[in-house]
A and B are shown apart, each in its own frame.
Chain A
Amino acid sequence: MRISTSWQFWQMGRAIERSTDRLSRYQRQVATGRRIEQPSDDPVGSVHALAIRQSLQEIEQYGRNIREARLFLQSTEQALADIGSLLGEVRQLITQGANDTLDANARDALIQQLRQLKERLMQLGNQRVDGDRYLFSGQKLTTAPFTLAGGVLTYTGDGNPLLVNIAADRTISMNFTGAARIADLYNKLTEVENHLLADDKATLSTVDLRDIEAFQSEFIRYRGEMGVRLRELENYETLYAARTEQLQGNLAAIEEVDLAEAISQLRQQELSYQAALQVFTRVQAINLFDFLRGG
């Protein structure tokens, strides 16, 4: 085939141009470490990457939700545990009050002690976490759940669950919804107080003791429920740590350059670029005009 001179040069120019283009692409990949800079670099991969990013974002948010729920649940569990130990003290106090050998002074001391416990129970019931969020108000959250009027404690919360999404298909309540029982407990303690005042040993040793023991096991159960939820949070957190790692791995596989491969490609391109340059200088050195000397 007849090859024209300008074509020769043009073709060489194109070869070098293409080589430079590829060279700069691999240089950029090695420098940035990124395989996808524009969606068109890999349309399927970039859509996939966006979806993975969304999953990572979701997991991050669920992680924040879990931390939020844990704080609330831990505080609730602690409050319930405190009520549990308070009940232990009440029980002891009742058995002492029901003791035949008790004198009036000792009984007064017991009554004082019981009043303090009632005070503490109310404090526990109106406990707040993280500023002004009441543990036991339910969704009324920012108003105190227990009010005392005429010696009777009333629950003014709504007992509704504070819901938290901890997974796309898992919502848990981070509060104790049976808080009205704390008011019942308080009012029971008032009864006990009255029985102590009246020195009604029979009632103290039968009904009161039985009721308080029932409250004890009830609050142990409540505390257990909080524990179950806390463990679920932990399970999700472990799951999310593993999923995050896996998703980040997938994302890297899609978006990031395999450095070893990119560098070896870069080497190859450098070689072919040099080759193109050499061929160019070689070709342009040869020309029949060089052999025409004089006439």
Chain B
Amino acid sequence: MSSFYGIELGIRALRAFQIGLDITGHNVANVNTPGYTRRRVVFAPTPDYAFSPRLRVGSGVMAQSIQRLRDMMLEQRINGSSADLARLDSLRQQLQQIESLFNEPGELGLSARLDALFNAFEELATRPDSMAARQSVIQAASALADTFRSLHRNLTTQESQLLQQAQARIAEANQLAAQLAQLNGQIRAAAASGAEPGGLLDQRDQLITRLSELVGARAQYAQDGTVLVSVDGYTLVQDNASFQLPTTLDIANRSLDNTPVDIRIQSGELRGLMDAIANLQSYRADLNTLANTLITQVNAIHASGYALDGNTGYLFFDGTDASNITLHADISDPSHIAAASVPDAPGNGGVARALADLRTAAQGTLGGLSIPQFYRNLIGRVGNDAQVSKNRAETQQLTVEHLLMLRESVSGVSLDEEAANLMKYQRSYQAAAKMLSTFDSLLEDMLQLVAPG
């Protein structure tokens, strides 16, 4: 046993508590760092010193390791739930935007435009000889056609923006996968040397969370410290290698085209965008069916009627769907509107009346609904989809918040707790310093005994 045994013991304690203070400081400093996991110093007694076989004395303390307080099971659940939330939240946002394109309820919406056209037909049935009534039919019909086209155009613009966003998500996921692979390599190297690379682990956990939010990726932790990340069985990251996600979207199947098997996207923002695109496409298909039915029905009735010039067979609408519906060149002259069911009867509004009756006529192509009913159903669906996605996103938000609270209660920094630790380590440090000075004064006493006066 060395004479400096006590001093060494004191120094070891000072060093250990110094580390405790440093870690406390580190925690306090990172109280606002996103994704930071609080650290804790694990103290352990140093090996005993044997004075004799029967007398063993402890030799003090050491900071054995620095623990990152993280519950891996919880992390997996959070990543899964966040991916679902990301999906629902991005669907909610997109559907709200899509919904606003319809301008309903309002004077600029298709519903008001349809009402106006049918009213104009009705007016024409009452005043088939009136040029003013003909003009107002033309005006109402062209406003309706414009509304169809602009709605179609806006939906298509929105669709291409959504597709771009989906591509951006895939690109971001691929970039993150590459970063993750790199981190995997660094972490494995650090782990092999025995130290826990806390900062790198925090960074990697954040990347994994973001990847889950993007494409619903799942992580599996390997023994060597690396993590395997996959989407629907497709490996994105393994060890220090990353594999790019393909970029061809299959909206109907919510998957990415890949050989030999397509990759189904189950959650994440990408899935939310795909859901939104699918919804948008089905709304647009309904709109096209509606426009096509309107064009076909109006033209069939109109062509059977007689214009003021006595001719028959004039067409009213041109085009095939909502993208290209316009007034037909035949009726560029309002007197060519065929209001009469017989020739040379300017007071006959039979065909105009038949056109007005289209308002309530059940259409086979619209599943037995009338034109306005079919459109109202579409609006009901648009509104309902948006409302349901909003409610589901809000519910999921609560689930995720609950999990985040659980995580924070494990991994988050509490300033109160750190203040208490600070006091504890400070007092311990003071006590160890006191010990050191006590041993020092013992040594001094002894040196005075042996030294010449």
Counting CB contacts under 8 A, is A36 at the interface? yes
B129 with A40: CB separation less than 8 A:
no
**Are B122 and A61 within 8 A (Cβ)?**
yes
Contact A49 B353 (CB under 8 A): no
How far in angstroms is the closest Cβ of chain B from A92?
36
Q: Which A residues touch B349, using CB under 8 A?
A: 162-163
Q: Mark A39-61, 1 if CB is under 8 A from B, else 0.
A: 11111101101110110011011
The answer on a CB contact under 8 Å between A6 and B345 is: no
Residue B65, interface by CB 8 Å: no
Chain A contacts for B118, CB-based, 8 A:
57-58, 61
**Does A120 have its Cβ within 8 Å of any Cβ on chain B?**
no
Distance in angstroms from A34 CB to nearest chain B CB is 9
Say yes or no: A60 contacts B119, CB within 8 Å. yes
CA distance A11 to B423 in the complex (A): 28
What are the interface flags for A88-121 relative to B under an 8 Å C-beta threshold, 1 for contact and 0 otherwise? 0000000000000000000000000000000000
Q: How many residues of B contact A (CB 8 A)?
A: 66
The interface bits of chain B over 102-132 (1 if a CB of A lies within 8 angstroms of the residue's CB, else 0) are 1011000001100110110011011101000
Q: Is the CB of A292 within 8 A of B346?
A: no
Q: What's the Cα separation between A288 and B126 when bound, in Å?
A: 84
User: What residue in chain A is nearest B107 (Cβ atoms)?
Assistant: A53
User: Are A165 and B96 in touch, CB under 8 angstroms?
Assistant: no
Given contacts A43-B380, A287-B416, A292-B422, contact A7 B405 (CB under 8 A): yes
- Asked if B104 and A46 make an inter-chain contact with CB atoms under 8 angstroms apart, the answer reads yes
Across-interface contacts of A40 in B (CB, < 8 A): 95-96, 99, 382-387, 390
Task: Tell whether, in the assembled complex, residue B129 and residue A39 are in contact, meaning their CB atoms are under 8 Å apart.
Answer: no
State which of A132-140, A187-195, A218-226, A269-277 sits at the interface with chain B. Answer: A132-140
Q: Is the beta-carbon distance between A141 and B129 smaller than 8 angstroms?
A: yes
Interface locus among A64-72, A79-87, A200-208: A64-72
- In angstroms, Cα B382 to Cα A61, docked, is 29
Which of A54, A62, A292 touches B111 (beta carbons < 8 Å)?
A: A54
| A287→B413 contact, CB < 8 A | no
| Residues of chain B with a CB closer than 8 A to A163's CB | 125, 349-350, 353
Q: Is the interface of B mostly helix, strand, loop or mixed?
A: helix
A47 & B372 in contact (Cβ 8 Å cutoff): no
A49 and B372 contacting across the interface, CB-CB below 8 Å = no
Interface residues of B in 157-188 (CB under 8 A from A): none
Indicate if B376 sits at the interface (CB-CB under 8 A): yes
Which label, helix, strand, loop or mixed, suits the secondary structure of the A interface? helix
B426 sits at the interface (CB 8 A): yes
Asked if B442 is at the interface (CB within 8 A of a chain A CB), the reply is no
Tell me, yes or no, whether A281 is within 8 Å of chain B by CB: no
CA gap between A164 and B352 in the complex, in Å: 11
User: Which of B115, B405, B410 has the most A CB atoms < 10 Å from its CB?
Assistant: B115
Expressed in whole angstroms, the minimum distance between the Cβ of A284 and any Cβ of chain B is 11
Given contacts A49-B105, A162-B349, 19 further A-B contacts (CB under 8 A): A5-B412, A6-B31, A38-B96, A38-B386, A39-B382, A41-B383, A46-B383, A47-B380, A50-B379, A62-B122, A137-B347, A138-B347, A139-B342, A139-B348, A165-B122, A165-B126, A165-B353, A288-B419, A292-B419
17 A–B contacts, CB within 8 A, in A order:
A1-B409, A4-B38, A4-B409, A39-B102, A46-B380, A53-B111, A54-B111, A58-B119, A61-B118, A138-B347, A141-B129, A255-B105, A287-B416, A288-B419, A288-B420, A289-B419, A292-B422
Q: Footprint of B on A, CB under 8 Å? A: 1-7, 10-11, 14, 36, 38-44, 46-47, 49-51, 53-54, 57-58, 60-62, 64-65, 68-69, 132-133, 137-142, 158, 160, 162-165, 168, 171, 175, 255, 287-289, 291-292, 295
